[in-house]
């Protein structure tokens, strides 16, 4: 049976929504030296933006045993959830600013703020100090980098956008692989302060290609004078369901990323071997961020994200929940989950891009990130509250179920968005 392709173009959007008045049809380079250099620059930016949250399990384990040992898992969870909340919340301003003014000022400022935050973090010993530097300052710098780094790819790619964004998104997983190795070697030998300064140096190295390689190609949008996102975009049902999928996906993904080391330690594993778990998640995520992007360009972006969210759901319920103290089962879960969740991360920007004109992309993406920001703010602390249940076996079961059912709701939202677009036709490329 022949597949029915649904174009990823302006026609896919609701004409009643506020779109820019663009008379000229868009053309795309779909690669070339400059286009792939932009992807490389975005990759380097993602190392900085998502390298820290993808190493959250290492930080959570270290903080709980050292300078913040008197704080509960829920309190420690706020460190990482506020970082992501600030990242996505202030990203809603970065998107329209990118559409209107370009990327250079945003990317340069974001790079400097992130490097400075790690240098200041090296002096921090108190909970409130870590919140101010790690969560708020670094999160603010990351917000200035994140949206432009994805939006700029939309200037160069259309039919290959899923692949290009997937390759760029692997930067976050690459950071999640190298940072645990760095911290595992540096923390016992040099201590927390110099380990953070070393991370700051790594961030400086990656900031150079980030700022040199990124270039816009399309003219700025003249239609919108305000840098604020447009809440009216939620009137479009497909966009609203897509944002709902993002919101509940954040609940699901952050639980394993943050608590997988603590889960393994509760089963009697030693700390040194547990560092392998976030590394394995991110190795799987590197493959997962690149391969589904390529597949999405062939079978449809929403079709692919339905598959990857479904795989996350299965991995949580069928592998992590019954794993118990089985180390091989936990290794299998971390790799499968890393692969599937990595695909989700790279596909979200591509799915949003399918719902709008590329010249409005920053505004649409940043508005979608508004919903993600509240998911990231609440997900980890709620998980920490569940770990406060006195019976530890019950607590971990409740935490895993919370992650799994969050994915179930996210999956339902993405299916609803797809059905609204193409109905129940399984062979429709969308």
Of 302, 303, 331, whose CA–CA distance to 315 is shortest?
331
Query: Which burial class, exposed, middle or buried, applies to 390 when counting CB atoms under 10 A from its CB (0-12, 13-18, 19+)?
Result: exposed
Better-scored residue on pLDDT, 104 or 29: 104
Least confident of 76-90, 103-117, 248-262, 349-363: 349-363
Mean pLDDT of the chain: 84
The 10s digit of each residue's pLDDT in 59-101 is 888 898 888 889 888 888 899 889 988 988 887 777 777 777 7
User: Residue 23 pLDDT > 60, yes or no?
Assistant: no
* Rounded percentage of the chain residues whose pLDDT exceeds 90: 36
Determine the pLDDT at residue 307: 95
pLDDT classification of 10: cutoffs 50, 70, 90: very low
201-228 confidence digits (pLDDT tens): 999 999 999 999 888 776 666 555 555 6
Query: What are the C-alpha distances in Å from 225 to residues 88, 97, 221?
Result: 21, 9, 9
148: its two tokens: 């432009």
CA distance 347 to 249: 12
Q: Residue 9 pLDDT more than 50?
A: no
Q: Which two tokens stand for residue 236?
A: 């479009």
In the structure encoding, which two tokens stand for residue 415, read together? 């299916």
Cα dihedral sign for 122, 108, 341, 331?
negative
pLDDT band at 321 (very low <50, low <70, confident <90, very high): very high
Average pLDDT over residues 110-127: 94
Closest CA to 316 of 394, 392, 236, 399: 399
The 10 Å CB-count burial string (b at 16+, else e) for 29-68 is beeeeebbbbbbbbbbbbbbbbbbbbbbbbbbbbbbeebb
Burial of 407 (0-12, 13-18, 19+ CB in 10 A): buried
Give the pLDDT score at 26: 59
Please state the domain extents for the chain: 28-429
Residue 49's pLDDT is 92
pLDDT at 7: 43
Greatest Cα-to-Cα distance within the chain, rounded to the nearest angstrom: 64
Q: Report how far residue 254's alpha carbon sits from residue 143's, in angstroms, rounded to the nearest whole number.
A: 18
What's the CA gap between 317 and 326, in Å, rounded? Answer: 15
CATH for 28-429 is 1.20.1250.20
Please report, to the nearest 10 degrees, the dihedral formed by the alpha carbons of residues 361, 364, 365, 368 taken in order: -170
The model's pTM is: 0.78
Identify the band that residue 5 occupies on the pLDDT scale cut at 50, 70 and 90. Answer: very low
Whole-angstrom CA distances from 352 to 10, 245, 404 are 12, 12, 24
List of residues 6+ apart from 21 with CB closer than 8 A? 223
CA distance 387 to 389: 5
- Supply the pLDDT for residue 25: 54
Pairwise CA distance, residues 246 & 254, whole Å: 12
pLDDT (average), residues 346-372: 78
What average pLDDT does range 139-146 have in this prediction? 92
Q: pLDDT at position 22, please?
A: 46
**How confident is residue 11, by pLDDT bands cut at 50, 70 and 90?**
very low
pLDDT in tens, 157-201: 777 777 788 788 889 889 988 998 899 889 989 999 999 999 999
pLDDT at 367: 79
The token pair that represents 90 in the structure block: 């202030």
Q: What is the 3 state secondary structure string of the chain?
A: CCCEECCCCHHHCCCCCCCCCCCCCCCCCCCHHHHHHHHHHHHHHHHHHHHCHHHHHHHHHHHHHCCCCCCCHHHHHHHHHHHHHHHHHHHHHHHHHHHHHCCHHHHHHHHHHHHHHHHHHCCCCCHHHHHHHHHHHHHHHHHHHHHHHHHHHHHCCCCCHHHHHHHHHHHHHHHHHHHHHHHHHHHHHHHHHHHHHHHHHHHHHHHHHHHHHCCCCCCCCCCCCCCCCCHHHHHCHHHHHHHHHHHHHHHHHHHHHHHHHHHHHHCCCCHHHHCHHHHHHHHHHHHHHHHHHHHHHHHCHHHHHHHHHHHHHHHHHHHHHHHCCCHHHHHHHHHHHHHHHHHHHHHHHHHHHCCCCHHHHHHHHHHHHHHHHHHHHHHHHHHHHHCCCCCHHHHHHHHHHHHHHHHHHHHHHHHHHHHHHHCCCCCEEC
């Amino acid at each position: 049976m022949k597949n029915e392709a649904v174009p990823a173009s302006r026609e896919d959007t609701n004409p009643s929504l506020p779109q820019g008045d663009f008379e000229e049809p868009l053309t795309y380079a779909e690669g070339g030296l400059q286009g792939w250099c932009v992807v490389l620059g975005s990759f380097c930016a993602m190392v900085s933006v998502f390298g820290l949250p993808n190493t959250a399990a290492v930080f959570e384990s270290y903080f709980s045993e050292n300078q913040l040992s008197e704080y509960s898992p829920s309190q420690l969870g706020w460190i990482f959830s506020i970082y992501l909340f600030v990242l996505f919340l202030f990203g809603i301003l970065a998107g329209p600013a990118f559409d209107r003014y370009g990327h250079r000022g945003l990317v340069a400022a974001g790079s400097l703020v992130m490097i400075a935050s790690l240098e200041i973090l090296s002096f921090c010993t108190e909970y409130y100090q870590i919140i101010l530097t790690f969560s708020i300052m670094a999160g603010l710098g990351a917000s200035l980098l994140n949206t432009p780094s994805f939006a700029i790819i939309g200037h160069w790619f259309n039919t290959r956008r899923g692949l290009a964004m997937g390759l760029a998104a692997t930067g976050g997983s690459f950071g999640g692989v190298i940072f645990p190795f760095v911290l595992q070697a540096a923390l016992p030998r040099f201590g927390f302060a110099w380990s953070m300064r070393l991370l700051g140096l790594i961030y400086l190295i990656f900031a150079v290609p980030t700022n040199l390689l990124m270039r816009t190609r399309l003219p700025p949008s003249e239609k919108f004078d305000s840098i604020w996102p447009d809440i009216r975009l939620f009137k479009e049902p497909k966009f609203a369901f897509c944002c709902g999928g993002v919101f509940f996906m954040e609940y699901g993904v952050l639980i394993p990323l943050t608590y997988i080391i603590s889960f393994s330690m509760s089963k009697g594993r030693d700390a040194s071997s547990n560092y392998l778990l976030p590394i394995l998640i991110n190795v799987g995520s590197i493959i997962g961020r690149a391969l589904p992007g390529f597949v999405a360009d062939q079978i449809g972006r929403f079709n692919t994200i339905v598959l990857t969210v479904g795989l996350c759901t299965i991995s949580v319920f069928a592998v992590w929940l019954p794993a118990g103290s089985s180390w091989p089962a936990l290794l299998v879960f971390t790799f499968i989950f890393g692969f599937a969740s990595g695909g989700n991360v790279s596909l979200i920007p591509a799915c949003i891009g399918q719902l709008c004109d590329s010249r409005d992309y920053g505004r649409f993406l940043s508005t979608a990130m508004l919903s993600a920001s509240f998911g990231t703010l609440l997900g980890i602390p709620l998980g920490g509250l569940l770990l406060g249940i006195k019976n530890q076996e019950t607590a971990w079961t409740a935490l895993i179920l919370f992650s799994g059912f969050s994915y179930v709701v996210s999956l339902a939202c993405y299916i609803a968005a797809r059905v609204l677009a193409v109905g129940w036709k399984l062979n429709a490329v969308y």
